[in-house]
C-alpha cells in the first residue's frame, strides 16, 4: 500500500518538470519499512497533513510564504534562492518562509539533508509525509492539481495559492499585494 501511495504521489507531482539528472536511486524501488524509525532520527520536523495544517493557518499578524517543493524537481530548485532572498529582505516586515519538502522517506538522508546543507538554506524546512494526497491536496487549495512547485502566501487578511514557479520579481510582486 505504501509503495502504491509513493507511486501515486510521484505521478501527481510528475508535472514538476525535468528531475535532476543523477544516478538512479535504487532505494526508491525498495519497500520503505523503516520510514517511522527514520522520522524519529530526522533533524527536520516530519508532518502528516494534520500536523502541517497549523502552519498553513496561523493568525499572528505575520505573512507566511509556504513553498511546496522537492529535491528532484528542477523548477523547484531553480526558485529556492528567490525564497531565501525574500526571507532575508523581509524580516522587518514579519514575513516567514516555510519550505515544505515532498521528498520521499528514502530520499531524506541521502538527498534532502545534504541538499539543505550544501545550499545553506536558512528558511524553515519541514517534511510532509502523508500518503493520502488525494485528501490533503484539495485542503491546501481546491484547484491544486498536485504539481510542484506550488506556493501558498497568506496572512490574517488575505490568502492566495500559486501553482507555478516564481522568479524573484514575480515573488516580490505577489508578496507586495499582501504587505500593502
Asked if residue 88 is part of any domain, the answer here is yes
Contact between 102 and 132 under an 8 Å Cβ cutoff? The reply is no
Q: Which residue has the higher pLDDT, 9 or 103?
A: 103
- CATH of residue 122: 3.40.30.10
Q: Is the peptide bond before 149 cis (omega within 30 degrees of 0)?
A: yes
Calpha distance 33→105 (Å, rounded): 10
For residue 161, what are the domain limits?
Answer: 2-12+44-179
pLDDT in tens, 128-142: 999 999 999 999 999
Question: How far apart are the C-alpha atoms of 159 and 155, rounded to whole Å?
Answer: 6
Q: Is residue 121 part of a domain?
A: yes
Distances (CA, A) of 96 to 86, 87, 126: 9, 6, 13
Q: Which residues of 155-175 are buried (b: 16+ CB within 10 A; e: fewer)?
A: beeeeebbbebbeeeebbebb
| Residue 29 pLDDT exceeds 60 | no
pTM of the predicted model over 0.85: no
According to DSSP, the β-strands at 150-154 and 63-69 are antiparallel
Would residue 32 count as lying in a domain? no
Q: What is the mean pLDDT of residues 148-167?
A: 97
Radius of gyration of the chain from Cα atoms? 16
pLDDT of residue 180: 84
Burial class (CB in 10 A: 0-12, 13-18, 19+), 8: middle
Average pLDDT of the residues in 105-109: 94
Within a domain: residue 148? yes
- From CA 115, how far away is CA 177, in angstroms rounded? 31
Residue 35 maps to a domain: no
Q: Is residue 165 part of a domain?
A: yes
Q: What is the mean pLDDT of residues 39-65?
A: 90
Task: Evaluate whether residue 33 is within a structural domain.
Answer: no
12 vs 160, residue with greater confidence: 160
Please indicate, yes or no, if residue 27 is contained in any of the structural domains: no
- What's the total number of domains in the chain? 1
Amino acid at each position: 500500500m505504501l509503495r502504491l501511495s509513493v507511486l501515486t504521489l510521484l505521478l501527481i507531482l510528475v508535472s514538476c518538470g525535468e528531475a535532476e539528472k543523477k544516478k538512479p536511486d535504487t532505494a526508491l524501488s525498495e519497500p520503505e519499512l523503516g520510514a517511522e524509525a527514520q522520522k524519529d532520527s530526522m533533524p527536520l520536523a516530519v508532518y502528516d497533513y494534520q500536523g502541517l495544517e497549523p502552519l498553513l493557518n496561523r493568525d499572528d499578524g505575520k505573512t507566511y510564504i509556504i513553498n511546496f517543493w522537492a529535491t528532484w524537481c528542477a523548477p523547484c530548485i531553480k526558485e529556492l534562492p528567490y525564497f531565501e532572498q525574500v526571507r532575508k529582505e523581509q524580516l522587518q516586515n514579519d514575513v516567514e518562509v516555510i519550505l515544505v519538502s515532498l521528498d520521499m522517506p528514502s530520499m531524506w538522508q541521502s538527498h534532502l539533508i545534504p541538499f539543505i546543507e550544501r545550499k545553506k538554506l536558512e528558511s524553515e524546512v519541514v517534511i510532509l509525509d502523508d500518503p493520502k494526497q488525494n485528501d490533503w491536496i484539495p485542503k491546501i487549495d481546491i484547484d491544486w492539481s498536485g504539481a510542484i512547485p506550488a506556493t501558498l502566501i497568506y496572512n490574517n487578511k488575505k490568502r492566495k495559492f500559486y501553482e507555478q514557479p516564481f522568479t524573484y520579481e514575480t515573488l516580490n510582486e505577489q508578496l507586495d499585494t499582501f504587505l500593502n
